[in-house]
Amino acid sequence: MRRLLFIAAGPLAVVLAACGSGASDSVAYTDPDKMTLVHLPSEWNTYEISELNALGDVPFAEPFNGLEFPTVSSMAFDAAPTRDVTNVTTPLGSVEYPIGAMSIRSIGELERLYLSRAALSQTVFPYFGRLDAQEEQEDFSFGDGFDGVRIRFSYADDTGAEVGIAYLISVTDPDDTRLYSIVAGCSRECYIANEAQIERVVDSWLVNKRAS
């Protein structure tokens, strides 16, 4: 992976395999259709779509310019010491441990007309327009038409006192009928302390035949 630099700072949770046997081990999770796969540290907590739906709004799944992208599958995760689904709704700037999600969402005919790099990122986390928002972005591809963007972004809360940082990948399928994404992040201090682990999780994500 080319280093990204800041100018400034049915349920998916189907376990495939555990690697090794220790707190630092990872576990692979995939969606029911085996279109996506991610490796998470074995000590991290995961939350299935039924738990996320109970929150009212599925985290890291946002409309764009008033257009909806319905969630097909989603799994959220965190590195909190205590499992609680509301952990993944904590503002990035104030959360002290990594949180995130991977998801599959449908793209309707109208939404397809408005697909763009901005849509690929803002449907995951709408950081445009937030205080001190910054990003570093590059094109990304899994091959076979599963193309999109890879981004690290940061922003401050309304007071400017708390800064959140996250790393995401977002792609569409060849026919632009599905939107696939993964994101992980936390406060600036947390991100700096956990950068290698956060990047390892996001970069482990696979989409399409490579996940089977």
Rounded CA separation 171/148 (Å)? 4
Residue 7 has pLDDT above 50, yes or no: no
Q: Which residue type, as a one-letter code, is found at position 37? A: L
pLDDT at 22 > cutoff 70 = no
pLDDT (0 to 100) of residue 209: 59
Inter-CA distances, 186 with 72, 95, 110, 162, Å: 25, 5, 33, 10
- The per-residue pLDDT for range 66-122, each reduced to its tens digit, is 999 999 999 999 999 999 999 999 999 999 999 999 999 999 999 999 999 999 999
Whether the per-residue pLDDT at 2 is higher than 70: the answer is no
Answer for the pair 207, 33: CB distance below 8 angstroms, yes or no: no
* pLDDT value for 123: 97
Write down all domains in the chain, each with its CATH number in brackets: 45-205 (3.40.1000.10)
Select the more confidently predicted residue: 11 or 200.
200
Per-residue H/E/C for the chain: CCCCCCCCCCCCEEEEEEECCCCCCEEEEECCCCCEEEEEECCCEEECHHHHHCCCCCCCCCCECCECCCEEEEEEEECCCCCCHHHHHCCHHHCCCCEEEEEEEECCHHHHHCCCHHHHHHCCCCCCCCCCCEEEEEEEEEECCEEEEEEEEEEECCCCCCEEEEEEEEEECCCCCEEEEEEEEEEHHHHHHHHHHHHHHHHCCEEHHHHC
Residues 165 and 188 sit within 8 Å (Cβ to Cβ): yes
> 32 pLDDT band (50/70/90 cuts)?
confident
Residue 168 has pLDDT above 50, yes or no: yes
pLDDT band at residue 20, thresholds of 50, 70 and 90? Answer: very low
- 41-76 pLDDT per residue, tens: 999 999 999 999 999 889 999 999 999 999 999 999
Would you state the pLDDT for residue 210?
Answer: 57
- Cβ atoms of 28 and 13 within 8 Å: the answer is no
